[in-house]
């Protein structure tokens, strides 16, 4: 039996009160709890207080405006997955969300919790007894990274399925960083290169995600998400490939490719000139797939041989491009 450490449940009445509590108390935020409660049972974190965000006003729901889709952080994944407007305007996001965990998790789990998800590692997401037997690592109570064999950094994998797609779509986060203070941060700028819980974000640790804003894509938008996992069932990604493109007729006018589950941050291809201003012929698709394969540098922090996952980065890019090309 995995027992949770004792904590006091806090139920703030406002977002400002929640942020103040997180800053002042030894505490963590709880949304749907589908990841956090498992981590607490593994004693990966032992906060004295857990701050329940459910019930806070204004954090739930999907608004579709002329310029953007705004999704409240507490919106359940299942709501995002089922929303006909999301499926129509940004199909890749509906695909990515539908690939997360299982149906029950998606009813409980929220989009905000998925964006703020802790990084994962074979040497970390284990019971306390398992970790003690091996020797605890840098991310939880130890001073050594078993993956890179050094005390310098944690390379646990950013393992959210929505993050690569939201990054490719240019999503912006509305974060309450202090009482009365909302900061807008591009999702592409949220992550650091360090997978440790208190170091993985570029914003203060008490930041509370209020909403995710996705700019409305231009006419001719197409997007898709390809997920590699050991079983086509309830499983975290071993690799995620998000592709968002715009076409004018058969000619591509813009494209973003973002890879997930490699490192503590999603990896966005810096330039894709060979795929823009041209039709996606087989030769273009092969050239891009080959570049993505060379760009991907998976670590041994999660299941799946890194060379195999690197090869699949090219394979899944090819599949995504062939699926999207008009």
Kindly tell me which residue out of 19, 171, 208, 262 binds ligand FAD, with binding defined by CB under 6 A.
208
CA nearest neighbour of 27 among 208, 203, 174, 188:
208
Write the DSSP symbol of residue 45: -
Residues 6+ apart with CB under 8 A from 166: 93, 96, 115, 187, 212, 214
Residues from 18 through 47 that contact ligand FAD (CB under 6 A): 28-36, 38
CB 110 to ligand FAD: min, Å:
3
Q: Mapped to the 3 state alphabet, what secondary structure does 82-147 carry?
A: HCHHHHHHCHHHHHHHHCCCCHHHHHHCEHHHHHCCCCECCCCCCCHHHHHHHCCCCCCCCCCECC
With CB cut-offs between 5 and 8 Å by kind, which of ligand FAD, ligand SF4, none does residue 121 bind?
A: ligand SF4
215 has which bridge partners? 68
CB 65 to ligand FAD: min, Å:
21
CB 160 to ligand FAD: min, Å:
4
Kindly tell me which residue out of 72, 92, 109, 217 binds ligand FAD, with binding defined by CB under 6 A.
109
Tell me if 263 contacts ligand SF4 by CB under 6 A. no
Distance CA 193, CA 285 (A): 30
Kindly tell me which residue out of 80, 90, 100, 145 binds ligand FAD, with binding defined by CB under 6 A.
100
CB 35 to ligand SF4: min, Å:
15
Tell me if 161 contacts ligand FAD by CB under 6 A. yes
Query: Where on the chain is the footprint of ligand SF4 (CB under 6 A)?
Result: 121, 123-124, 137-139, 145-147, 154-156, 195, 301
- The footprint of ligand FAD (CB under 6 A) covers 28-36, 38, 53, 73, 77, 100-101, 105, 108-110, 112-114, 116-118, 159-161, 208-209, 234-236
């Amino acid at each position: 039996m995995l027992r949770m450490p004792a904590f006091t449940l806090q139920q703030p009445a406002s977002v400002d009160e929640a942020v103040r509590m997180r800053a002042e108390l030894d505490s963590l935020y709880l949304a749907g709890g589908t990841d956090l409660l498992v981590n607490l049972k593994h004693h990966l974190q032992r906060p004295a207080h857990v701050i329940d965000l459910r019930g806070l006003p204004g954090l739930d729901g999907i608004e579709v405006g002329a310029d953007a889709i705004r999704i409240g952080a507490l919106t359940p994944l299942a709501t995002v997955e089922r929303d006909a407007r999301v499926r129509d305007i940004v199909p890749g996001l509906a695909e990515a969300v539908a690939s997360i965990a299982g149906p029950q998790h998606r009813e409980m789990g929220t989009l905000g919790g998925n964006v703020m998800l802790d990084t994962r590692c074979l040497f970390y997401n284990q019971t306390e007894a398992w970790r003690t037997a091996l020797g605890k690592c840098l991310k939880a109570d130890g001073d050594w990274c078993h993956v890179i064999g050094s005390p310098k950094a944690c390379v646990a994998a950013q393992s959210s399925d929505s993050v690569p797609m939201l990054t490719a779509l240019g999503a912006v986060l509305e974060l309450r960083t202090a009482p009365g203070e909302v900061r807008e941060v591009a999702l592409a700028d949220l992550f650091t290169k360090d997978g440790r819980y208190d170091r993985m974000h570029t914003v203060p640790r008490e930041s509370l995600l209020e909403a995710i804003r996705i700019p409305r894509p231009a006419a001719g938008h197409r997007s898709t998400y390809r997920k590699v996992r050991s079983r086509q069932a309830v499983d975290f990604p071993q690799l995620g490939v998000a592709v968002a493109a715009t076409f004018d007729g058969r000619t591509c006018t813009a494209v973003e490719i973002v890879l997930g589950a490699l490192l503590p941050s999603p990896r966005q291809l810096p330039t894709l000139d060979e795929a823009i201003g041209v039709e996606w012929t087989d030769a273009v698709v092969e050239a891009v797939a080959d570049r993505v394969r060379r760009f991907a540098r998976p670590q041994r922090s999660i299941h799946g041989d890194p060379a195999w996952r690197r090869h699949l980065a090219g394979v899944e890019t090819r599949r995504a491009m062939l699926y999207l090309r008009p």
